[in-house]
Amino acid sequence: MRTGLVRALTAAAACSLLAGCVGMPTDGPVREPQVSVPTDDVPGISFDPRPPRAGESAADIAEGFLEAMKATPINLTVARLFLSREASDAWVPEQQIITYGEPGVASDESAVSIRLKDVNLYDERGAWQRTQATRDLELGLVQEDGEWRIDQVPDALIVPDTWFDDWYERASLYYFDPTAAVLVAEPVFAPKGDQFASSLVRGLVTQPPVALDGVVSTYFPPGTRDGLSVPIASGIAAVSLTGDPAAVDDETGGRMLAQLAWTLRQEQRVRAVRLSVGDRVIDTPDGSSPSNLDAGSSYDPDGLRANPEMFALVEGRVVTGDIGTLENTLGPLGDEPYGLRSIAASISGSHVAGVTSSGTELVLAPTEAPDGEVTLVVTGVDLAAPSWDFRDRVWVLDRTGGSARVVVVVDGTASLETVPGLTGRTVTKLLVSRDGSRLVAAVRGRTKDRVVATRIRHDAAGEILGFTPIRTLPLPEERSPRIRDIAWRTPTAISVLSNASNGYSQVRTFSVDGAPGEIVTGGLTFLRGRFRSLVSAPVEGSDVFALGNGLVQNLTNPDRLVPALPEGLASLTYVG
């Protein structure tokens, strides 16, 4: 499996014309690094490919072209030498990235067909699009000055996946939700090193694809374009965009800065951002420039003022605090046992939703008001543990004996949501992201389980419009195909707990967009013993725990002593 999958491409137009460079955007949460190599740690081995030689056959030219695209550091100057003069001028490799596992070449002189296997496609932002088992790459050739040259070529960087893994890394582009209330991270890939920041900005100013309509929005006006690069001097990233300055009012400018600040936090050298559109410098709401990286903190995708403490049930009462110092909450569910089997706390920690021991009722109650009321909001057949999003909506799965229903509670009123691919299926676990843009679920199959993801569409008022088509995450084949639990590891990554062989459990982490490859998070992945649940939050620095019968293991800090858990503890969780 690919362990350090790296990012995608968005080469600067001028870079590709003048120096043949190619660059692109990134994936992964800003808050918890998902890469095994720092962004400034570029592989040290350089590769300077050979140019075309006199008398080479059409097949040799095609193979040389593929080899030349593997130049490192990333540079397409030599690759262009394998193209005809007209094709070289027209070739725009920034349009997409095609990665492959293995190529084969067939030639009839004026045309070369290359069968690529295990193909992955990435768009111009660096976002993964899909996987194909095979793809035929058709290259048309012509004689130019007595030598074969490629005259027909796709607008793409075409490289082996091993090369891509070495030279690109995961990151995220940050957009707004349709109500402009919260930032939403979109995973992409970007080249390591000096092109990283420029690639991120280039991806960010590209308009989101139609497939994300109703999921995300951007405040970069259509027609805005990036400059040649994003120079970083004394920690300040200078982002100079072309476009109409009059199209950027104060509100738009402030939100553009918020998107930039969150996106460029992933570049370790950046401490502040100076943004200009045309000849106008975009100031922060307080009139200052450059803007520090706190810009947009009120749009935190982890939830503004999220409560960092843990919540749990101890002897039926709702408790909160650090894992070693859990105390009863002040609300009615912390005062007396209510017969709950699972709970979830709102992002602020002010309310808790609980499922009764029968699994047939969902109740809501405040956590800080001793005289607060316990309100019944949902009745069902077999309710799973609920989830909250930043809008204080509660999402709960009613498993109903293999014919799942998804229930959403808004302001105390419950309604059914039909989620194609989930409703009516055998679903064992349902999660909603804190930003309210994603649903992830574990689906039970006849022979193995799957993890699937969908995006939630909203209108400008925050009303749910529907869901995008279900996408199955590409989990590796395991001896034990059953999934014990899933949990958010970052805003764009899910950890999956399953049984391994010989009495071990395994935790693996994957991107929720379906991009191939396991995400390296550090810490433990193989655990001695049969663990049944994960306790995790999509926040940098938070501990991740695996729990079993009489077992508890800190995955992120395995050497840190875990305090003895109280007798009768159940449903340990972070907020959300």
Identify whether residues 265 and 404 lie together within a single domain. no
Q: Tell me whether residue 173 is in a domain.
A: no
Two tokens, residue 305: 């003022």
The pLDDT value given to residue 361? 98
The pLDDT value given to residue 42? 60
Two tokens, residue 75: 């540079």
> In this predicted model, what pLDDT tens digit does every residue of 282-338 receive, in sequence order?
988 777 788 889 888 999 998 878 899 999 999 999 999 999 899 999 999 999 999
- CA atoms of 11 and 91, how far apart (whole Å): 12
Identify whether residues 380 and 514 lie together within a single domain. yes
Identify whether residues 289 and 314 lie together within a single domain. no
Identify whether residues 250 and 141 lie together within a single domain. no
pLDDT band at 18 (very low <50, low <70, confident <90, very high): very low
Query: Is 483 a residue whose pLDDT tops 60?
Result: yes
The pLDDT value given to residue 15? 33
Show Cβ contacts of residue 65 under 8 Å, excluding neighbours closer than 6 positions: 79, 82, 83, 139, 150, 153
The pLDDT value given to residue 22? 34
Last residue of a domain, one of 299, 331, 354: 299
Identify whether residues 291 and 370 lie together within a single domain. no
pLDDT band at 44 (very low <50, low <70, confident <90, very high): low
Last residue of a domain, one of 299, 327, 352: 299
Mean pLDDT of 12-32: 33
The pLDDT value given to residue 41? 53
Provide the mean pLDDT of the chain.
90
Domain extent for 220: 205-299
pLDDT band at 355 (very low <50, low <70, confident <90, very high): very high
Q: How much of the chain, in percent, has pLDDT values that exceed 70? A: 92
Mean pLDDT of 545-565: 92
Last residue of a domain, one of 299, 322, 348: 299
Q: Tell me whether residue 180 is in a domain.
A: no
- Our count of domains for the chain comes to 3
Identify whether residues 369 and 436 lie together within a single domain. yes
Q: Which residue has the higher pLDDT, 482 or 127?
A: 127
Q: CATH number, domain at 31?
A: 3.10.450
Distances (CA, A) of 512 to 170, 243, 305, 325, 434: 12, 34, 25, 33, 14
The pLDDT value given to residue 460? 97
Q: CATH number, domain at 462?
A: 2.120.10.30
pLDDT band at 28 (very low <50, low <70, confident <90, very high): very low
Q: Tell me whether residue 253 is in a domain.
A: yes
Identify whether residues 325 and 288 lie together within a single domain. no
Q: Tell me whether residue 105 is in a domain.
A: yes
Distances (CA, A) of 283 to 237, 252, 253, 259: 14, 11, 7, 14
Among 32-46, 399-413, 500-514, where is mean pLDDT lowest?
32-46
Q: Tell me whether residue 100 is in a domain.
A: yes
Q: Tell me whether residue 186 is in a domain.
A: no
- CA atoms of 423 and 419, how far apart (whole Å): 5
The pLDDT value given to residue 481? 81
Query: Is 9 a residue whose pLDDT tops 70?
Result: no
> In this predicted model, what pLDDT tens digit does every residue of 223-256 receive, in sequence order?
888 776 899 999 999 999 998 999 899 999 999 9
Q: Tell me whether residue 417 is in a domain.
A: yes
> In this predicted model, what pLDDT tens digit does every residue of 128-150 receive, in sequence order?
999 999 999 999 999 999 999 99
Identify whether residues 315 and 291 lie together within a single domain. no
Closest listed residue to residue 365, CA positions, set 387, 380, 379, 350: 350
pLDDT band at 14 (very low <50, low <70, confident <90, very high): very low
Query: H/E element holding 366?
Result: strand 361-366
Q: Tell me whether residue 176 is in a domain.
A: no
